[in-house]
Amino acid sequence: MRRQQDLKTLVVLALAILANGAGNLSLSYGMKSVGAPEAWTLAGLWAVVGTALSSLPVIAGGLLLLVFFALFLALLSWADLSYVLPMISTCFVVSALLGNLVLGERISLIRWAGIGLVSIGVLLVGRTGPSGDAASSSAT
Amino acid sequence: MTTFLLVGVIVLCFSFGDIALTRGMKQAGEVSSLRLAVLNEVGGRAIRSPLVLLGGALQIVAFVTYLVALSQRDLSYVFPLTATSDIVTTLAARYLLHERVSPTRWAGVVIVSVGIALISAS
């Protein structure tokens, strides 16, 4: 039972992280062709919103982030918040790597260090199990 | 000074937003399978839950405040500060939601927060 629950949590976590990464990638790609506002005025910003809403990648990105939020809520319906929140931070790593691999963005040394730390932290939290923190109830 | 005030508002709204969302979703019931009937039922209860709505509203307030803070300072200054919200949220989950947080989980949360701060500070 516990095994099955853990597996379900990991699958939904993976789907949420994928949706988040793909959504951010799509948004970032779409917004680059929409371009920065010509002026930081209400009219200038409004024009950007208008163009963005007619861009397919931007709409797809927004929908994927909605899917992410729904999956996040589903996770909270059975798992601990203190488990889900750090685990979902894998999004930062995935976004940084996707930005590097697909959009050709540079990753600085400090950022690599951050990616390494987040990964170590996620592995630690992952060991505690999704609910009731197995690491504190049974010393395994 | 105002930036720190804004960051305080952001951190508190994110943390208490997450707490409200968690409590609301625990009340709405577990998403026990991906069958449409189950999703419909739990989703319907979630959308009508005052706690879930409050949590969503607090997240929106946090996000708008975040945009205001960004208009004053650089992203690489504001974002690492908001990374502390994970630690505040874990404290709140421990004391308000009575979740068990073992030393292993604490260590993980702190390391993740430092990592996020580093990713965004560069």
Segments in chain A forming alpha helices (H) = 2-34, 42-53, 56-76, 81-88, 90-101, 109-126, 134-137
Residues 6+ apart with CB under 8 A from B93: A80, A81, A82, A85, B19, B22, B99, B101
B80-96 burial string, b = 16+ CB within 10 Å, else e?
bbbbbbbbbbbebbbeb
Selected residues 90-119 of chain A with any CB under 8 Å from a CB in chain B:
92-93, 96, 108, 110-111, 113-119
A106 interaction partners in chain B (CB closer than 8 Å): none
Q: What's the whole-model pTM score?
A: 0.86
Give the integer Cα–Cα distance in Å for A106 and B19.
35
Q: Is the pLDDT of residue B67 over 90?
A: no
Q: Which domain holds residue B56?
A: 2-121
B57 and A CB contact within 8 Å: no
Q: Are A87 and A20 in contact (CB under 8 A)?
A: no
Mean model confidence pLDDT for chain B:
90
Nearest chain B CA: its distance from A59 CA (Å): 19
How many cross-chain Cβ pairs, A to B, lie less than 8 Å apart?
Answer: 142
ipTM of the complex: 0.89
Amino acid, single-letter form, for residue A66: L
The pLDDT value recorded for residue B81 is 83
Determine contact, residues B92/B19, Cβ cutoff 8 Å. Answer: yes
pLDDT for B50:
95
Q: Tell me if B119 and A96 make a contact (CB, 8 A cut-off).
A: yes
- Chain A residues in contact with B49 by the CB 8 A cut-off are none
**CB B24, CB A77: distance < 8 Å:** no
Judge whether A41 is closer than 8 Å to chain B, CB to CB: no
Three-state secondary structure call for residue B92: helix
Phi and psi angles of residue A104, each rounded to the nearest 5 degrees, phi first: 70, 25
**Total domain count for chain B?**
1
Q: Which residue of B has its CA nearest to A116?
A: B115
Full DSSP string of A12-32 = HHHHHHHHHHHHHHHHHHHHH
Per-residue pLDDT of chain A (140 residues; tens, 9 = 90+): 567 778 899 999 999 999 999 998 898 888 888 877 777 777 777 888 888 888 899 999 999 999 999 999 999 999 999 999 999 999 888 888 888 888 888 889 999 999 999 999 999 999 998 987 765 544 43
Task: Specify the DSSP element, H or E, that contains B3.
Answer: helix B2-28
